[in-house]
Structure 1
Amino acid sequence: MITRYLPIFIILSILAEILGTIGGFGSSVFFVPIANMFFDFQSVLGITALYHLSSNVTKIAFFKKGLDKRIVLYLGVPAIIFVSIGAYFSKYLDPKILTYILGVFLIILSLLFLIFKQLKILPKTRNAIIGGSLSGLSAGLLGTGGAIRGITLAAFKMDKNKFIATSAVIDLGIDFSRSIVYYFNGYMRKEHLYLVPILLVVSVVGTWIGKLILNKMSQEQFRNLVLILILLIGIISVMNIKI
């Protein structure tokens, strides 16, 4: 990335962290499309994994009072297993095609839930396992699986704090697992390590601002915003803009 674009990158990263906190499914769903405008895709995967580790630790610290241990088990374990599989195969598959498919899927899914408000994913253990597996696989292949996890978590009708804390704990396990695989894939490059402390500050500032905004929202506003943000993520993924 050319140095003159660094301030723009930082501002957009803070915005991604704020939106990711408000939406409750992590900043990577916004950060990956943003970072993809500045870096090659494999570098994006490495940077995102390192950044997201600090981002999720920050969220757990801010929202530590809410946590559903049962959902962490049923959704988190399959996610951790499948993120390792996805991360390994990421070097063999065309990321552009996968990103486009994910974008179309998220657009259709979010529109369905926004238009047909009575449509719901049943809060069953089986659905938690399937959602965790798909979100983990997506995170490993594309760098982001939070939107799929967000839709699955929404079925269990948690309050805002529990939703965010549970999502962050699952994401922490996902990021730790894929970071190891990405390292051996050669995605974590020395020339990008200067971004780690910058993004650590971004994660704290963005999460803090997001929490302030979230405290002023109702549960119904929160649900609708999650779906709207997922729709936006899908559109960004399909557009696949490059700078």
Structure 2
Amino acid sequence: MKVDYIFLLLALIAEIIGTIGGFGSSVFFVPIGNFYFDFYSVLGMTAIFHLSSNISKIFLFKKGLDKKLLLYIGVPSVLFVIIGGFLSKIANSAVLEIVLGVFLVVFSLLFLIKSEIVVLPNKKNSIIGGSLSGFSAGLLGTGGAIRGLTMAAFNLEKSAFIATSAFIDFMIDFSRTFVYYGNGYIGKQELMYLPFLFAIGLVGTYLGKRILKYIPQEKFRRLSLIFILLIGLATITKLMFDYWG
């Protein structure tokens, strides 16, 4: 087995964009990874990749961690990522890829067209948002976009937002890594990429933080949504070509 360095370069770009845009790298990493590996291998790699990138974010953006959101969003996220992770083994991988592609397209278009959409900042919505983001992370490999939308309602300072989101994400990834390993998603191929993805998580987060100082997050958020839309369309197009040969 050879290491694909183009894939690693794209993973670095995904980490930088995910850090700046506030959506997390998995929303870019998972669909990109699907062009190189099977869906279940990508789920395993995503969990490994995220553990390192979120440790970096917690360290670099550690000031202002919101403990209340950590409880209301983090706990249901962990519970539902385990459920989603187990269900991913039952569901057909092609179906999950289609759901992922449609999710990315619908999510990006919704917030590009209706940028004023907000979630009310209350305990109920925090728990619902945490549950949905955890379930999506376990089943599809990415749930940061849903969590980001939920957390945005609380109007946190930029560093506090990233630190809290990263800590919740770390809890999610730590939990689903065991589920994915039990499902057989983490084998020799995935472990071969472990040191590279760990390094990319550290470097990408650091570069993202540096760039964030010079680019207004709201402008980059819109650009990130356009990227998500294009990746979603590319995912659906790839599946169509695969289906029709």
Is the CA contact 1:29–1:233 (under 8 Å) kept in the aligned structure 2? no
State the partner residue of 1:152: 150
Residue 39 of structure 1: aligned partner: 37
Q: Would you say the 8 A contact 1:87–1:181 is kept in 2?
A: yes
Residues 172-213 of structure 1, C-alpha deviations (whole Å, 9 max, x = no match): 000011011111111110233121111111111111111111
Q: What CA RMSD, in Å, does the superposition of the two structures yield over aligned residues? A: 2.2
Aligned residues: 241
- Is contact 1:47–1:188 with CA below 8 Å preserved after alignment? yes
Paired residues of 1:65 and 1:162 also in contact (CA < 8 A) = yes
Name the counterpart of 1:140: 138
Using the size of structure 1 for normalisation, the TM-score is 0.90
Residues 23, 229 of structure 1: 8 Å contact kept: no
Separation in structure 1 between the aligned mates of residue 184 and residue 84 of structure 2, nearest angstrom: 15
| Residue matched to 1:217 | 215
Q: Is the 8 A contact 1:103 1:235 kept in 2?
A: yes
Taking a change above 3 Å as real, the CA distance of residues 45 and 223 of structure 1, as seen in their structure-2 partners, is closer
Q: Counterpart in 2 of 1:48? A: 46
What letter corresponds to residue 160 of structure 1 in structure 2?
A: K
Deviation per CA, 1:76-103, whole angstroms, max 9, x where unpaired? Answer: 1111000000111111102322332343
TM-score normalised to structure 2 length: 0.89
Query: What's 1:60 paired with?
Result: 58
Letter in 2 for 1:166: T
The alpha carbon displacement at 1:154 in A equals: 1.7
Go from structure 1 to structure 2 and tell me whether the alpha carbon gap of 1:181 and 1:68 turns closer, same or farther (over 3 Å shift).
Answer: same
Matching residue of 2:114: 116
**Counterpart contact for 1:33–1:240, Cα < 8 Å:** no
Change (3 A) 1:90 1:203: same
Unpaired runs of at least 5, structure 2: none
Change (3 A) 1:145 1:90: same
Return the offset for 1:236: 4.5
Distance change >3 Å, CA 226–CA 68, structure 1 → 2: farther
* CA deviation profile, 1:95-135 (whole Å, cap 9, x unmatched): 32233234323433333333233332211211111111111
Superposition deviation, residue 56 in structure 1: 0.5
Give 5+ residue unaligned stretches, structure 1. none
- Is the 1:154–1:223 Cα contact (8 Å) retained in structure 2? no
